[in-house]
Structures are given as C-alpha cells and as structure tokens.
Structure 1
Amino acid sequence: MERTATSRRGRLRRLGLLLAAVLVVMWAAHHLGAAGASWTAAWATISEVGRWWLLLLGAVWLLGLWVHTFVLDASLPGLTHGRALTLNLSGSAIANLLPLGGVAGTVLNLTMIRGWGHTNRDFARFVVVSKVWDVAARLTLPAVAAVLLTVTGRLGPWPPWLGLTTLAAAAGALLTAASLGRARPLLRLVTAAERIARRSGTGWTSAAGALLDGVDHLVRRRWRALTAGMAGYCVLEGVLLWLCLTVVGVSVPVPVLLAGLAAARALTLAAVTPGGTGLVETGAVAVLIGLGTDATGALAGVLLFRAFVFAAEIPVGGIAILLWLATRRRRDHAAPS
C-alpha cells in the first residue's frame, strides 16, 4: 500500500512538473511576441532556406555527432564508433519523444550494450563517465560566455546572473574532479543535501560513491579523448548555430553566439518536456534578443538549429533502432546453426 501511494505521488509530481513547464513555455512564447518576434515570419524565413544550405547544415550536424562518439568510445573500452553513434541516436530518439524520456533511452542503451558483450558494470561506468563530462560541459559553457560578454563590454562589470553561471561552473568542476578520483567535496555536498532534505535513510551518499567507484581509473587514462571529443562537439554545435543564424540573415558576434549556445545546452538539462522542447527554444531566443539580436531572426535561427539537434534525431534515431533490431534478429537466427 505504501509503495502504491509513493508511486502515485511520484506520478503526480512528474505531471505537475510537466504542467509547470508547459505554462512557463506559453508565458515565454507570449513575451517573445511582445519583444517583436514574429512566429509567422520566422517559419516563412525557414521555409525559404535552399536545399544546399540544408545539406550543409545536415553535414555539420552529423559531423558533430561523429565527433561526440569519441567521448562515448573513451567511456566504454571496446566500443566502436559505429556502435557509439547508434547508442547516441537511439537514446536521443526515445528521450526526444517522451517526457522525462532519458530513463527509457538509457534502458534501450543498456539492452544494446549487453547484446554487444559488455557487462552491467561496464554500462554503469559508461553512463557515469559520459554523462559527467557532458553535464560538466553544459554547466561550464554559460560561465565562459558570461566572461567573454563581460570582457568585450556587452555586459556590465558585474551582470546579475554572473554569480549563477559561476555556481554552475563550480558544479561542473566538482563533477569533473569526482570523476578523476577527488570525490570527497562532491560527496560532502550530497551528504549535506540528505540532511537538508531530512532523508538520511535514502543512501544518496553511498549510492553516489558506488557510482563513482572505479571511474577514476578509466578517466585518468582517457581524459584527453574525453576532453577533445566534448570540446570538438561543442565547437561544431556552435558552428551549426552560427550557420543557422547566418542562413536566415542574422549576424552575431562570437560572444553572443556562445551565450545563445550556452543557454540552449544548459536548458536541455531541465528535460521535463521531451528534450527540453519549448524551454530550450524560448530560453535561447530570449538570450539572443537580450543581447541585441533581431527578434524574428533569432527565433528563426534557433528553430532551424533545433530542427537538427532535436527533431532530426527522432527519425534518424528510429532508423538506427530498426537497423539494430534487424541485426540482432539475424544474429539470434544464426546462433543455433
């Protein structure tokens, strides 16, 4: 009975978060219109993009996904680039379809990895390492953008959200340090969170320690590949956003471009809606408008950008899942003989 009540409360909590996110998106979309962004004009601009531009954008998007496979390969010894790309696309396709769909995508990836001969422990270490470096990058990028905007004079000497971005970067540094074997500061914070929540029996600290167990040995050997892969992926996402803005007739300085990209990547962490839909778009557009970008142009560029990094991953990831299922079925049929 108690478990049923807890499950019901969990479902109600998730539903409440989803409803709150939808309301926030509706409010933000209304204010984008008040700021001068025309949704009709933005869609009309996107519809006029030529096929050669679309091919170029698609090529940059796919190149970014390929570079990201170096992060996944480094997180799981023995994983090939092709299989890493399959994991990335299939997991993203599921996550982009369902609210809080990251869990379903992770379960699918576990099934794939076990079918390729890796153990559950290999998969756990793979998830921890790849997610730590991904989240750390998403948390650090806003601070880098804030520093560049401040140095170039586009913001005041102490912008009001500099403290928040600094805090986010500190959190990213804690995660990175923990993956390198210096987990004590992070575990102390987890213990403090347990005490504040008055839920010391939940075992958050022991669970975090168990997840990080053995991770440092892998990261210390492969931190160069992890760093290079993640940096290359972020650069190519920045190039894709720049091209999307350019093709709709918007020119932005590098610090402004970086701020828009940082907002888009950071807001995907709040994946209450599928893939952060609505939150990411309105947040990134609001940042670009706030830094002097044309409102309708910013909206058109961000929507085109999300058409690749979010929408395109669903059908392409679906194809990756079908190919994996077909390969698995052939292997199962061939096994008895």
Structure 2
Amino acid sequence: MAIPVERQPDPALFDAVVLGSAVYAGRWLESARHYATEHASGLRGLPVWLFSSGPIGPRPFPLPTRTTSNRSPPWSGHGHTGSSPAGSTRTCWAPRSWPWSSRCAHRPATSATGRPSGAGQRRSPRTWPVLPPGVSRRGPRAGLTSTVRHLLGGQVGRLALTVAVVVVVFAGVMPQVADYGQAWGLVTSLTGSEVVLLTVVGVVNLVSFAPLWVASAPGLTWGRALLADQASTAVANAVPVGFAFGVGTTAAMFSSFGFSPAVTTRSIGLTGIWNSLVKLTMPVLSLAGVLLVGHPSGGLAVAAVLGGAALLAGVGVLVAALTHRRSGDRLAGGAQRLAGWAAGRVGRTAPTAWAERLDRFRVDSLELLRHRWGRLSLAALGSHVALFLVLLACLRTIGGAASQLPWVVALAVFSVTRLVTILPVTPGALGVAELSYVAGLTAVGVGAGEAAGAVLVFRFLTWFVSIPLGLAAWVLWRHGLGRVAVAGP
C-alpha cells in the first residue's frame, strides 16, 4: 500500500515500512524528513527500507562520519535510483537526528568481481569496532585527559563552579561592598503595607511568563502553562546548568499535555528567542530614558551600545534563519562546527543535524509567527516589566536614597544586569546577579546597605520563592495534574 507522507500514516498500523523521497540539493524533501523525525519512535520497532530517487554524484555538503558502532542498522537496507558517475553509490545517508538511522560512508559500489556495480543494490554500512571502556586510541595519557575533561565538564565540575562563584561573591566580594547587618536591618523594618505590596508584585511576576507559553503553543491552557513554567523555573534556579534541565522539564510536561515534539520544540525555541530579544532591547531603551532625565553613565552607555549591536545582529540572524533557507543552513552549519569544537574540548559528543533541525523549525514557525508575533512580543515584554516592577517596589520600600532613585535609572541597572546574566554561569545567575545589581545601584548613587537590602528582598521574591513553588508544581504534575489521559488498547 503506497501512502503519501503528507497524510501522516501511523507506522503502528503496518508490519514493515518502505520510506523514500526524491533528492533535491543533496537531501530528501522536507515532507519525508519531517515524517521520519516525527514518527521515529514508531519506526524503531519495524523493518524499515529507505530509498532515494535522484542524482547521487558529489554531495554539496560534507559526508557523515563513520559509525563507531559494530551493530547492524535497524532497517533492512537503502536503495537508490538515478544517475551516478563511475557507478558510485551511497548505502544510506539519513540525517543523524533520526534516532533509528546509521551513519555510513560514501564508497564505490563493487560487485563480486571487483567491478563497479549499478545503483540501487543493497549494501551494508561499513562499521568500525568499539574500543573497550577507558581505552584511548592515543594511549593512556589521552584517556586520562579525556577523563579529566569529562569530570570537569560534568555535574561535579558544574557544582564546583557554582559553589566557587557563590562563595567568592557572598563571602568575599559583597562584604567589601555592603554591610549585611545594615541590609538586614532595613529588611526587618518593612511595614505591613509594604510587605503586602511586595507580595502582590511578587505574585504577579510569578505568573507573568505563562502568557508567553500560551502565545507560543496554540491550544495550551493557562493552567498548564503556569504549571510547566513554575516547574521548569524551579529546576533552572536550583540545578547547576539548570537551563538545560529546565528545557527538558518543559519538554516532558508538554508531551504529557498532548503536544507533539515539533510543537514543543517550536514553543521552547520561540519563547527563548523572544525573551532574548527583549533582553537585548531594554538596555537601548533605558539609556535613552537615562539621557532624558539627565543621569548619563559611561557604564550604562557602553552596555546600551553593546546591547544595541547584539540586538541588530540577533534580529539579522533571526530574519535570515527564518526567511532564507540557504542562509539558515550556513548559520546552522557554522554554529554546529563551533559547538562541535567546544564539545570536543570538554570530551563531549559533537552535535549533528543542526541544519535539518533549523529547517524544520523554520517551516513550523513561520505560519505561527504570521499570526502571533504581536502576542509573543507583548507577552515577552510583559514578563520583563513584571520582573522590573518587583525590583522597583523593593527600592521604593527599602527607604533612603533607593526610594528616590528615578525609575528609568533603576530600569537601566535592571536592563544591564539582565544582559550580563543572559548566559547564566550559576543556577538562576546566583551570585552573579546579586553582585551586578548591587554594583549598578551603588554606581548611580544608592547607598551600599540600601542597595544590598533591596537586592536581597528582590532575589528572595524572584529566585528563592520560585523553587518551592516549582517543586510543588512538579509534584502535582507527577500525580497527574494537567496530563492528557491515554486511551487504553
């Protein structure tokens, strides 16, 4: 039975699958690649034969690397029809992002007599043996170096980095800048009405990011968006390199809500992009406001210029990636090579198939952006405004010079710190954010004790409180809250 992939047939309905596509510009058509990726889990347990139709001459992009596994691929084979110079053939070249694919090299096809054979014949991928654990091709010293790199780049290294930053900031640098006793005295002197005000703005901030998730994932309810946001934020704020684990938490929860991997990836990608664009925009706007009220600062001006340049570059990259396929492929290829180099330095596996993933993201995102770019922009801006209002309320209630600081100057300090922590070194930028806020506030005339007091209250409401609330959200989700019921057989 021949069924077009556009109909998205369920592989579970068949005993075997023959999947193929025409070849254009050295790759399968988007519809076939999308189907293979979306249904990878269902295809893993079936006999699968891949075929391609089109020229198989020199490829316009580098060949996949040889596999390091000595296991046979989970499909029956791969055939190819079309013209080929000198009898050249490829046994298979499915994208590496397909979990059931194998990596294989391009080599001349030969018959039993050693002569070139025609295209379309079944070939087995060339395999290479796997070295025993702990054995390196470059000798014991290289193995030891690899082990050290893996250790430093793993959980132990991340935890050590987090502890070191926190100790240096809170035990070394901050006591030289501010008096903890004075700061705590200002905090304990808050009145009941001031506590109520801080509580209200803190709650508004906690729920302010949910609208961005709703805008990026059509069909997502506010309750589920809030549940996923609280849980992922708690993970990001509590675990070393928590951003990656937070993304994984969001993906798992979206899957339980009934969203496909493609929709989940699009939602996470768009929220991250729009959030970063707002972070890059705010220093430019805040500098303009500072100039209007007559509080220019060299540091703020430098941050605004850097933010403006990064904003222009980010918008240019985004437009190129989403509107021009070839430009997107080049950008993804360059980023993949850079990430591969960095991964190799710390003993990690190099990433693969970024061009294919960007292509899928581009196709899936353009239609949504045509209708929802305004909602995405307003939601992202609203979440940052809610966070800034918490800082402003802390400054107003702590008293002293902090209560007299113009809001636009406070916005400039807030924007610079958000720009500094755009790549968090510690969970929730713990230590780094506090130091940046206190340094920025003291630079614009706020007393050190007042700045430290305001920042401590601000971080309590925006960093600490989110951890127990997110843990509660995660527990509720684990017990079934928000999950889509799975129909029985």
TM-score range, shorter chain: 0.7 to 0.9
1:297 corresponds to which of 447, 450, 461: 450
Q: Which has the higher contact order (CA 8 A, sep 6+)?
A: 1
- The equivalent residue for 1:141 is 282
- The equivalent residue for 2:396 is 246
2:462 corresponds to which of 309, 315, 330: 309
The gaps in structure 1 that reach 5 residues or longer are none
- The equivalent residue for 2:441 is 288
Higher helix share: 1
Q: Aligned AA for 2:252?
A: T
Q: Aligned AA for 2:473?
A: A
- The equivalent residue for 1:177 is 319
Counterpart Cα distance in 2 of 1:219 and 1:65:
26
TM-superposed deviation, 1:244: 0.8
| SS at 1:64 equivalent | helix
- Aligned pairs for 1:186-335 within 5 A: 188-193=330-335, 199=341, 202-249=352-399, 250-251=402-403, 252-328=405-481
The gaps in structure 2 that reach 5 residues or longer are 1-130, 135-142, 342-349
Compared CA separation, residues 162 and 133, structure 1 to 2 (3 A): closer
Q: Aligned AA for 2:368?
A: L
- The equivalent residue for 1:12 is 152
Cα deviations by residue, 1:217-258 (Å, 9 ceiling, x for unpaired): 112211111111122222222211111111111221122211
* Contact 1:87–1:109 (8 Å) recurs in 2: yes
Compared CA separation, residues 160 and 46, structure 1 to 2 (3 A): same
TM-superposed deviation, 1:197: 7.3
Counterpart Cα distance in 1 of 2:307 and 2:202:
27
TM-superposed deviation, 1:75: 0.6
Compared CA separation, residues 330 and 220, structure 1 to 2 (3 A): closer
- The equivalent residue for 1:86 is 227
| SS at 1:270 equivalent | coil
Compared CA separation, residues 162 and 227, structure 1 to 2 (3 A): closer
Counterpart Cα distance in 2 of 1:224 and 1:258:
23
* Contact 2:256–2:484 (8 Å) recurs in 1: no
Cα deviations by residue, 1:67-93 (Å, 9 ceiling, x for unpaired): 422211011010011111111101111
* Contact 2:162–2:240 (8 Å) recurs in 1: no
1:106 corresponds to which of 227, 231, 247: 247
- 1:167 equivalent in alignment to 2:315: no
Cα deviations by residue, 1:243-289 (Å, 9 ceiling, x for unpaired): 11111112211222112221343344332311111011111111111
Q: Aligned AA for 1:167?
A: A
* Contact 1:244–1:305 (8 Å) recurs in 2: yes
Cα deviations by residue, 1:29-81 (Å, 9 ceiling, x for unpaired): 5444434x111211222233244433322222222343422211011010011
Higher mean C-alpha deviation, range 41-50 or range 222-231: 41-50
> TM-score, normalized by length of structure 1?
0.84
Q: Aligned AA for 2:229?
A: N
Counterpart Cα distance in 2 of 1:171 and 1:39:
41
Identity across matched positions, percent: 28
Compared CA separation, residues 321 and 196, structure 1 to 2 (3 A): closer
- The equivalent residue for 2:204 is 63
Q: Aligned AA for 1:243?
A: A
> TM-score, normalized by length of structure 2?
0.60
TM-superposed deviation, 1:324: 1.9
Higher strand share: 2
Counterpart Cα distance in 2 of 1:132 and 1:336:
38
Compared CA separation, residues 328 and 198, structure 1 to 2 (3 A): closer
Q: What CA RMSD, in Å, does the superposition of the two structures yield over aligned residues?
A: 3.4
- The equivalent residue for 1:77 is 218
* Contact 1:143–1:168 (8 Å) recurs in 2: no
| SS at 2:308 equivalent | helix
- The equivalent residue for 1:123 is 264
Counterpart Cα distance in 2 of 1:188 and 1:237:
36
Counterpart Cα distance in 2 of 1:216 and 1:227:
15
* Contact 1:133–1:176 (8 Å) recurs in 2: no
Counterpart Cα distance in 1 of 2:332 and 2:250:
27
Counterpart Cα distance in 1 of 2:338 and 2:487:
54
Cα deviations by residue, 1:145-202 (Å, 9 ceiling, x for unpaired): 2333344442258944443222332244246536864677676555445566785985
Compared CA separation, residues 227 and 326, structure 1 to 2 (3 A): same
